[in-house]
Amino acid sequence: MKSVLIDLDEPTYKALNQIAPAAKRQRAQFIRNAIRKAILEAEYERIRAAYVRQPDSEAEADDWSTAEEYKP
C-alpha cells in the first residue's frame, strides 16, 4: 500500500479527529473511503456528462413499458 502525506488546516483536523479518531486506524480508513467515494462520484459525473453530450436516440433507449416487477 502506498502512503500519501497531506496537510490539513486546524479546523479540518479537529473535525476529522471527532469523526474518525487515529486509534485503531479509523482515521486512515475514513480517509481511504472518502477518496474512493470522490473517485466514484467523479466517474459518475463523467458518465453523466457523456450522456448529456450524446444522449441515446429514441430507437436506442430501453423500452420499460413491459418491465418485470423487481423482486429482491
pTM over 0.75: no
10-19 vs 26-53: helix crossing angle, rounded to 10: 100
pLDDT bracket for residue 11 (50, 70, 90): very high
Specify the amino acid at residue 10. E
* pLDDT over threshold 90, residue 25: no
pLDDT > 70: percent of the chain: 100
- Beta-carbon contacts of 59 under 8 Å, excluding residues fewer than 6 positions away, are none
* pLDDT over threshold 80, residue 65: no
- pLDDT score recorded for residue 45: 97
Rounded average pLDDT over 58-62: 76
